[in-house]
Structure formats: C-alpha cells, structure tokens
Amino acid sequence: MASRRRARSRWVAATSLLSALMIIAGQACSRSEPGPGPVPAPHWSRVALPDGLDPTVLALLPGSGGAAAETLVGAQLTTNPPAPRLLRVTAGETVSPIPLEPVSPYARVAQFRALDSDGSRVVALGGRSGGAHGNVRWTVWTGTRAAVREHPQTFETFGGQQAGALVDIVLTDRGPVVVGSWTGTAGGLDAAVWLPRGDTWLRRDSTGTPLASSKTRLVLARAAVADGAAVVIAGSTIRLADGVRQGAAVWRADSPDGDWRRTDLPDPGGRSEAQSVACSGDACWVAGQVDGRLALWSLMASSAARTTLPDTAVDPSGPAARVVSGPARTVVAYSQDGHSRVLLGPSGGAGGWSRRTGPDGDLVDAVLQQSRLYLLTRRGTGPAELWLAELG
C-alpha cells in the first residue's frame, strides 16, 4: 500500500499543471451535458447493527437453495484489541452473525477489506497493519452462510519486499480470485492475481501479460468483479512516454487462469481512473472519474462506450465511486463535499438518470438487492453507518 501511495504522489506532482490545462481546454468539448437537477431524496432508514461495530465493506448474498437474497456486512469490533465480525442482513432488516474461525494471530484482529458470494459460498479478504514497518498483513477466508474460516498463508504469499497491496477478492464460477499488485520485472508494480490450490494461494506471474507494467506504462488495479467464470479488473494506466497521463482502463480474463486483455476506456480526458465495476446480464458497468467529473462506461465483450451522466464534480483523490447493477436498474453512488449521492438509471444504464441525495457522510460501499439500495457511509472518524432505501 505504501508503494502505491508513493507512486501516486510522484505522478500527481508531475501532472497537476497538465491536468489543470486539460480540464480547462476539454470541458467545453468533452463534458457531459447537464442532466436533471436534484429531486426529492428517497427515504433513508438506518439499519441497526450491534453496538460497538464499525462496518467496512458490503456484498450481495444472492438467494440459494430457497433462501432469500441478503446483504453481507464485514465489520470490526471496536474493542482493544479489535476483532472481525461478519453479518447477514435480511430484507426485513434482521441482522444475524456468521460465525468466524480465525486461525492466525492477524486474523483475530483483521479488518475486512473485501467480500463476495455466489449465494452458497462466501469469500473474504482481511487486513491488519503490523510488524516493524506497519505493513498490512493479509488474511483470506472462505466458507458459507453457516461459518467462514481463515486459511493461513506464509508471509511471502502476500507480503515481503516485493509486495504491493491487495484490492479485492471475487468468486467466479470456477473459484475465487485475489487481485492486487506485486513488483514486476520493469521495476514498478504489476497488477497481479492469486489463485487457490487447496488451501494455499499461489500468485500467477504477470510478466509478459497486459497486467505487467513497463518502462513506458504503469498499471494500477483498483477493484474487481466476477462475471460468471470471468474476472474483470478496473483501474488505470499511467503513460510515461510523451508526458505523464493517467487513463482509465479495465482488464478481463474469461477464466481465472485465462489470458488477460486490456481495454483503454474511451474519452479518458487528461486524468481518469476506473474505480469500481459491476456486471449484470450481458454488460458490465465501470464507474470512476475523468478530470474531476463523475464518469460511467458500459463494457461489452469487445467494446466500451462512455455513458452521458448529469455533470457531477467529484474529488479525484476522494472516496471511490461505486456502481451497482441489477435486473431493474443501475445505480452510481459517490461522495460530494462530505455527503453521499446517487444517480439512478435504468438497468441498461442509458438515459433517464436522476440525481438523489444520500445519507450524510462519505460513501464507503454500496449494494443493490433487487430494489433495495444499501449504502455504507462514514462521518468524520466515527464508525460507519448502514443505510437502506427502497427504490421501487
């Protein structure tokens, strides 16, 4: 994580003047046309979680074997020392714990950073800073609605001098995948994936693949999603030749151990980044920012297109935008001046977008469960809060 932050600080300094000029010059020709103004906010109700919990991440728990769809909440007990917690929230707002089985010392104090489920299986990624240098010590967990267990790994699996950061864990039809970064042969960090062999996680070598950085292009992974057997990674590349420019990009492999291909997202402006990705039906949706404006792209098997959104300013260095999609609609959630906001669109993501206010606090995560939208927001340094709105 520290390596990525140092890399970010170098290119931010190098591109600040260029980005400002590009924004001024490009707004007239590339900015989306203003959309509809704010409309009355939906009714947000706070979901009561057990006392002493700080929720950190959400995931959809699809219905399976007759069970109704639910929402997974990864949280940390704010005791000293802290402890991880995993919860199920039903449509009736009943909150039930999922028993956890930590094994290693860092798992017992982990904070959940990513979750995924296909309805019957649950996977999770935990992290806790520790050691002489305060680096994140990662833990991986798998299980079901009944219980989730940590599977200890060697320190070198996700750590050591060549480690970058882990950004996501996803559950494909062919098994789970961990996505992160690792030092490559070109000297920078490559995007990287780890696949399980039994209870042991093994990193695939990114050398010679589109996940690898080079002396002229750096690769940054930000988030991932499973699309059936496929894996889609959202992020950006930083081009070092002919100036320094950051452009939003996605990578896709048709199976966890398949070949990767990169798609540079269109209309990238002077500085852009893909921050989250969701797949539903035959398409995926990618949310991020372009020159400080909220952006959304549609992604098909071999093409991508920029979607026209209501013109919306966002902080490129602030909380990431989240896109969630289901059969009824697509939703883009984002932060603006310490408040959460949402753009509601149809399932196709084209036209008819309306802007709605959200709960106070910066956006942490979002989940769409049929017509029920869950937002996780945080005000200041206090515990995050879980909110629900029925979109109808």
pLDDT tens digits for 37-63?
A: 444 457 999 999 999 999 999 999 998
pLDDT given for residue 351 in this prediction: 57
- Omega before 99 within 30 of 0, i.e. cis: no
pLDDT given for residue 370 in this prediction: 85
Q: Is the pLDDT of residue 139 over 70?
A: yes
* Residue 125: closest CA among 158, 87, 162: 158
Q: Is the pLDDT of residue 34 over 80?
A: no
State the Cα–Cα distance between residues 369 and 61, nearest whole angstrom.
9
**8 band by pLDDT with thresholds 50, 70 and 90:** very low
* Residue 201: closest CA among 161, 155, 167, 164: 155
Q: Is the pLDDT of residue 7 over 50?
A: no
Percent of the chain residues topping a pLDDT of 90:
75
Task: Please report whether residue 83 resides in a domain.
Answer: yes
**184 band by pLDDT with thresholds 50, 70 and 90:** very high
Q: Is the pLDDT of residue 95 over 90?
A: yes
pLDDT given for residue 41 in this prediction: 56
DSSP state of 102: -
pLDDT given for residue 74 in this prediction: 98
**333 band by pLDDT with thresholds 50, 70 and 90:** very high
Q: What is the mean pLDDT of residues 107-122?
A: 96
Q: Which residues contact 57 (CB under 8 A, 6 or more apart)?
A: 73, 74, 112, 113, 114, 115, 364, 365, 376
Q: What is the mean pLDDT of residues 131-160?
A: 90
Following CA atoms 254, 256, 258, 259 in sequence, which dihedral angle do they give, to the nearest 10 degrees? 80
Task: Please report whether residue 304 resides in a domain.
Answer: yes
The more confident residue out of 92 and 95 is 95
Lowest mean pLDDT among 33-42, 100-109, 303-312, 369-378: 33-42
State the Cα–Cα distance between residues 221 and 219, nearest whole angstrom.
7
**280 band by pLDDT with thresholds 50, 70 and 90:** confident
pLDDT given for residue 129 in this prediction: 85
Task: Please report whether residue 332 resides in a domain.
Answer: no
Q: How far is CA 375 from CA 9, 222, 388, in A?
A: 30, 20, 6
Domain with 264 in it? 2-25+32-321
Q: What is the pTM of this model?
A: 0.87
pLDDT given for residue 329 in this prediction: 87
Alpha carbon 106 to its chain centroid, in Å, reads 23
Task: Please report whether residue 79 resides in a domain.
Answer: yes
The more confident residue out of 48 and 283 is 48
**350 band by pLDDT with thresholds 50, 70 and 90:** low
Lowest mean pLDDT among 163-167, 210-214, 217-221, 278-282: 278-282
CATH code assigned at 63: 2.120.10
Task: Please report whether residue 63 resides in a domain.
Answer: yes
Phi, psi of 282 (to 5 degrees): -95, 0
Q: What is the mean pLDDT of residues 120-137?
A: 86
State the Cα–Cα distance between residues 84 and 3, nearest whole angstrom.
26
Task: Please report whether residue 149 resides in a domain.
Answer: yes
State how many domains the chain has: 1
pLDDT given for residue 357 in this prediction: 93
Task: Please report whether residue 278 resides in a domain.
Answer: yes
**10 band by pLDDT with thresholds 50, 70 and 90:** very low
CB burial readout 315-333, b (16+ within 10 A) else e: ebebbbbbbbbbeebbbbb
Write down the mean pLDDT value for the chain. Answer: 87
Task: Please report whether residue 389 resides in a domain.
Answer: no
**134 band by pLDDT with thresholds 50, 70 and 90:** low
CA angle 6, 318, 373 (to 5 degrees): 135
Query: What tens digit of pLDDT does each residue of 213-265 get?
Result: 999 999 999 999 999 999 999 999 999 988 889 999 999 999 999 999 999 99
Lowest mean pLDDT among 19-23, 100-104, 179-183, 338-342: 19-23
CB distance 308 to 297 below 8 Å = no
